[in-house]
Structure 1
Amino acid sequence: MANSLFAFRSIRKVAFTSSASASVKWKGGVSLVQGASRGIGLEFAKQLLEKNDKGCVIATCRNPNGATGLLDLKNRFPERLDVLQLDLTVESTIEASAKSIKEKYGCLNLLINASGILSIPNVLQPETTLNKVEKSSLMLAYEVNAVGPILVIKQHMSPLLKVGGTGIERDVAVVANLSARVGSIGDNRLGGWHSYRASKAALNQLTKSVSVEFGRKKDPVICILLHPGTVDTDLSRPFQRNVPEGKLFTKEFSVQKLLNIINNIKSHDNGKFFAWDGQEIPW
């Protein structure tokens, strides 16, 4: 029994030493951006790399070989950008990325879930009336916008450890899920867009529940939701016609605002839903 206990402690010590040494290499911390092939996710990866020259960014997407913007960023930051394959609809790829991150880096300081779908030609379109709602659209939106991000958090919780470093002022690790104001039930005055609204509302509830669990366990991790505003990306482009003047943001502007929220977040903000300007959004 004594020998077994000694062996267990030795294994645990080796594992801890390996993780610690991996984290020491990246004094600016380790960030994971899920959904980084284009749009807001790609911009998150770009700004994280440009604004913290001592940190490492892990960027994931469904098809890394076809992500030209991400490959260009990799050429600029070959040592500090790691690109991994992750498909939100295939849980084995989520598990594989978590295993790779844990083995190579030992910790994460920041996890950003940036993926989301609103429309796919001939597959998914925002519903303007109830009679256009289809089960397939509801299920697909729910799978990508709500289920996928929560499974990413579940699988990557083991590497999510509190760690300090140059360029990191927070004393907690942060999970930031990109939601949308239309996911707010209290803010819903127009109706429509049933699949997208419902899937984002589900993401909000799941994220809130995860944040409560973090708090109850006293884990040094907080979980927040972020609304980026209406951003000029492929996701919003078909629906920009009615956006008021001055309310269509560039990716650069929106991500700068969201990173400012993330970098200044406090423990008491756990479980909150913020707009790009720092204002809380009602559930």
Structure 2
Amino acid sequence: MKLFVLHTLMATPLRSICKASFCSSSKHLKGGVSMVQGASRGIGLEFVRQLLEKTEKDHVVATCRNPSGATGLLELKRRFEERLDIQQLDLTVESTIEASANFIRERYGSLNLLINASGVLSIPDVLHPETTLSKVQKSSLLFTYEVNAVGPILVIKHMWPLLKVGGASGTERDVAVIANLSARVGSIGDNRLGGWHSYRSSKAALNQLTKTISVEFARRKDPVICILLHPGTVDTDLSRPFQRNVPEDKLFTKEFSVQKLLSIINNAKSSDNGKFFAWDGQEIPW
């Protein structure tokens, strides 16, 4: 029942704060345009920061469910007022995804990079990774699937017509890139410990959906590729309850992980379409 109430609250669209002080109407802006979905904290917020700091021309559209409470994003907005736009997007409400796509179309006309960074593993007193089959609940399976798999794919559905090659500074890419943050535990071939049924299966579903999209892009000969990225175990709110047994040298800072992931993204080629990479560039088995 608690999970149902939480889901209902999350499905209520929040008022966008992208009003006069946050948005301008010109498409004629220099540099590339990146979108980071799930940008209010953790890895998503760090992607926004590094994308803005690496050049003086590129623009970033950062989306999250509750912009007014995203203190980290608001601080970046004060630093990069002309190059950062913040949009409200709730993965469980498709109309908010469509609204963000319309905003990008009207303001910029196109998009060079899409990063789906959001994800859910646990929610205190509501959602916990299952340690045994007896703890699996239908509500947990459906909720994690909706957030970790369905939502990112709907974002791609609406952003795909906007993805174009070119414009992004500091990269040699000849393709636009969609990067979905997955996890090594989503690999079926690498699963030796079991458990975490909802999280594992939702990430496995994200992997399959992304792979399927990549096949369609290749068949259409679109200059767009889809890749999956495993960031490693990163010191964020998502992983913090589960860090006790992680070796010190395997627990990464957000800065380190995102730097590695951006290197993979910026060097991505057409031949990487549909591949699943770890933070160090090594491919992960399906």
TM-score exceeds 0.5? yes
Structure 2 distance, partners of 1:98, 1:222, is 19
Structure 2 distance, partners of 1:276, 1:162, is 24
How big is each residue's C-alpha offset from its partner over 1:206-255, in whole Å with a ceiling of 9 and x where there is no partner?
00000000000000100000000000000000000010220000000000
Equivalence for 2:11: none
Is contact 1:59-1:81 (8 Å) kept?
yes
1:1-283 aligned at under 5 Å gives the runs 22=27, 25-27=29-31, 29-283=32-286
Moved more, 268-277 or 236-245: 236-245
How big is each residue's C-alpha offset from its partner over 1:137-186, in whole Å with a ceiling of 9 and x where there is no partner?
00000000000000000011111122235433211100000000000000
Amino acid at match of 1:175: I
Is contact 1:164-1:171 (8 Å) kept?
no
Structure 2 distance, partners of 1:266, 1:89, is 32
Structure 2 distance, partners of 1:85, 1:137, is 25
Is contact 1:33-1:44 (8 Å) kept?
yes
Structure 2 distance, partners of 1:186, 1:238, is 25
Gaps of 5+ in 1: 1-20
* Superposition RMSD in Å: 1.0
Structure 2 distance, partners of 1:50, 1:277, is 22
How big is each residue's C-alpha offset from its partner over 1:94-136, in whole Å with a ceiling of 9 and x where there is no partner?
0100011111100100000000000001221000000000000
Is contact 2:112-2:168 (8 Å) kept?
no
Structure 2 distance, partners of 1:61, 1:206, is 22
Structure 2 distance, partners of 1:194, 1:144, is 15
Is contact 2:171-2:267 (8 Å) kept?
no
> How many residues align structurally?
261
Structure 1 distance, partners of 2:216, 2:255, is 33
Structure 2 distance, partners of 1:196, 1:165, is 33
Gaps of 5+ in 2: 1-25
Identity of aligned pairs, percent? 80
Aligned with 1:204: secondary structure? Answer: helix
